[in-house]
């Protein structure tokens, strides 16, 4: 049975009339009740999808009290997807993006979810089965600069999404495991995939490493759109920067926008990005030569995405 404070937290998260700001409210609201199981099943708010998740993680708190996580980013990704597309999810975690993509693109499309954490792979597979989604392929691998085995570090006990292949200065790992790594082109070749239309990438600093080593793939078959987490401190773990990511994408013709206070704000360089990146570091990149641009161009014409 929930306490009055927990009920208040749930009502606040469900009814608060903002597309953003729920993370800021977190410190003032209740934690997940102690009697809740370590693996919950939630109906995703706004989507015909159910998802198993750990409620005691950073993402899990939002799923428990609101039923969705990264609400605006997920909605934009869902809007961009079309039936029959191929979508890849690099750093899939519990499979949030993979699930909504698989539902949208249908049986003639396909989703490949890359996740190096061994404990999360069976949960993604369970989530696919729970929703009768047979078009998701889960690959237990990190994506990087070559075929090898590396150490995956867990710098937080309550946030599966912070697992990384490199620790920064003064960062410590509470746990670690050895995981397989390979280049994106190789991993896609193993799945007989030559073209992808959409991509989501959240890999705690290895984003530019993946892009750089996928450059030949981008030359031959650029994805129509990408959602990428860009955190300067995380990219520095690998000797890279947000500007490296932005330059790569712009050199390949993409237009960029960052997620800020419930809207997408276009930018052209790191200075402009930083002006609007203090509440979120998520970036969307869309190629103007693709059909997705017809949906996305209003995102870049107006400072507010509705």
pLDDT of the chain, 306 residues: tens digit per residue: 899 999 999 999 988 766 666 677 888 999 999 899 889 999 999 999 999 999 999 999 999 999 999 999 999 999 999 999 999 999 999 999 999 999 999 999 999 999 999 999 999 999 999 999 999 999 999 999 999 999 999 988 888 889 999 998 888 988 999 999 999 999 999 999 989 999 999 999 999 999 999 988 888 888 999 999 999 999 999 999 999 999 999 999 999 999 887 788 899 999 989 887 665 689 999 999 999 999 998 887 655 433
Residue with the two structure tokens 């200075």: 271
CATH 1.10.760.10 fits 70-301, yes or no: no
Q: Where do you find CATH 3.40.50.150 in the chain?
A: 70-301
pTM over 0.85: yes
Give the integer Cα–Cα distance in Å for 92 and 98: 7
φ, ψ of residue 247 in degrees (nearest 5): -65, -45
Beta-ladder partners of 286: 225, 255
Residue with the two structure tokens 């079309």: 82
Contact between 242 and 271 (Cβ < 8 Å):
no
pLDDT tens, residue by residue, 231-272: 999 999 999 999 999 999 999 999 999 988 778 889 999 998
Residue with the two structure tokens 């750990």: 54
- Helix, strand, coil shares of the chain as percentages rounded to 5? 35, 20, 45
């Amino acid at each position: 049975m929930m306490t009055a404070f927990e009920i208040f937290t749930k009502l606040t998260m469900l009814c608060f009339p903002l597309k953003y700001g729920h993370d800021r409210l977190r410190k003032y609201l209740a934690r997940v009740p102690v009697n809740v199981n370590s693996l919950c099943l939630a109906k995703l708010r706004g989507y015909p999808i159910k998802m198993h998740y750990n409620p005691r993680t950073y993402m899990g708190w939002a799923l428990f009290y609101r039923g969705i996580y990264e609400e605006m980013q997920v909605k934009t990704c869902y809007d961009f997807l079309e039936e029959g597309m191929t979508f890849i999810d690099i750093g899939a975690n519990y499979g949030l993006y993979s699930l909504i993509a698989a539902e949208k693109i249908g049986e003639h499309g396909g989703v490949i979810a890359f996740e190096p954490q061994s404990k999360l792979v069976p949960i993604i597979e369970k989530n696919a089965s729970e929703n009768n989604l047979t078009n998701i392929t889960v690959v237990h691998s990190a994506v990087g600069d070559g075929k090898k085995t590396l150490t995956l570090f867990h710098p937080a006990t309550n946030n599966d999404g912070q697992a990384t292949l490199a620790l920064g200065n003064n960062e410590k790992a509470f746990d670690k495991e050895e995981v397989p790594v390979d280049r994106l082109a190789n991993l896609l070749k193993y799945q007989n995939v030559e073209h992808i239309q959409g991509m989501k990438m959240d890999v705690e600093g290895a984003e530019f490493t993946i892009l750089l080593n996928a450059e030949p793939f981008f030359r031959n078959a650029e994805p129509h759109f990408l959602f990428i987490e860009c955190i300067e401190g995380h990219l520095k773990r690998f000797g890279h920067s947000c500007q490296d990511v932005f330059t790569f994408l712009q050199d390949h013709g993409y237009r960029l926008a960052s997620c800020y206070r419930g809207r997408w704000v276009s930018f052209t360089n790191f200075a402009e990005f930083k002006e609007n990146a203090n509440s979120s570091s998520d970036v969307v990149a869309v190629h103007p030569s693709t059909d997705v641009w017809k949906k996305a161009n209003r995102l870049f014409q107006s400072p507010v995405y509705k």
